[in-house]
Structure formats: C-alpha cells, structure tokens
Amino acid sequence: MIIDKRQIKFLTQKKASPPTFKAQIKLHKTDIPIRPVINNRKAPAYELAKHLAKILNQYFTLNNHYTVTNSTKLANDLTKLQTHENHRMITLDIKDIYVNIPIVETLDIIKARLLQNNGTQIIHQILSLLRAFLSQNYFTFQQKSINQIRASPWDHRYLV
C-alpha cells in the first residue's frame, strides 16, 4: 500500500476550501498583463498531492539536469557556460502549459516509467491517485466556482 491507515488523518485537509484565483500584475511588461495564480493550499487534496509527489520520487528518478531553481543560480550557471559562435540561447515561456498538458498521455508515460521497476498493484494505486488529482482543475473567483478546461483563467473556455 502506498498510503497506510495511520497516514490518512495527516493527509486529510482539516479546513478544506476550493482553490482560489488571484491575479498578479506584471508591471515590468508592456500592456501590463496579469499572471494568474491559483492557491491550492487549502484544497481538499493538497496534503495528499504533496504526499503523492514524495511517493513518485521514491518510485522513479527524474534526471532534472535543466531545472532552474531561481534566477540567481541561473545567472551563475550561465556565466560558467561555454558556448561557441554557432550556439543559440533560447528561452521558452510556459504560458498556459500546465492546463494544456494532456492527462491521458501523461498517465501513459508515468505508467510506462513505473512498469520498468515496480509491481502492478503499486502502479494502479499511484495512477488512480494521479488521475483523481489531474482531473480536478477548478478554482473560485468572485464567489463563482470555475472548472478550467484549458488555456488561461481569463480565457472564455470555462465550465461555470
């Protein structure tokens, strides 16, 4: 079992509430766009999701060679980078990436990785929890509950 009965009370949110939407204004950009922020800390499955992340790290390792933890570390790493004149540096904006990740394909990839070293019961438990979390893409804004289908929270493609 990936979660035993003793852990359940610690993984249950005591005062659960729906995730809330807030907008952070990007003053440093032209046209002053917003950065949508969804606060999940009081969401019903928040503690369980954190626990599942720890479990996933136990069952397979991701080689995150290209992860940026903060801008200071990035700046230091870039100063050490050896480049040639035919190299190009690119940056990618992750705008809308999280709500556009295909859930079925993501679960298939995780399943394939887990099958390399784990039993089917563990894999079934992990995938069941992941499926439940990934399908809960909702938040509240101005006292309305919004189920986000895709794109940014300001997009018109919602179920309200």
pLDDT tens figures, 23-35: 888 888 888 888 8
Record the pTM.
0.66
The amino acid at residue 35 is R
Question: What DSSP string describes 31-93?
Answer: T--EEEEEE-TTSTTHHHHHHHHHHHHHH-----TT----HHHHHHHHHH----TT-------
What's the confidence (pLDDT) of residue 157?
38
User: In this structure, are residues 30 and 21 in contact, taking their beta carbons and an 8 Å threshold?
Assistant: no
Tally of domains within the chain = 1
Residues of the chain with pLDDT under 70: 61-62, 64, 92-100, 149-160
Q: Which domain holds residue 145?
A: 5-159
Task: Indicate the Cα dihedral angle 8, 13, 15, 16, nearest 10°.
Answer: -130
CA distance 145 to 159: 9
What's the confidence (pLDDT) of residue 154?
43
What's the confidence (pLDDT) of residue 6?
85
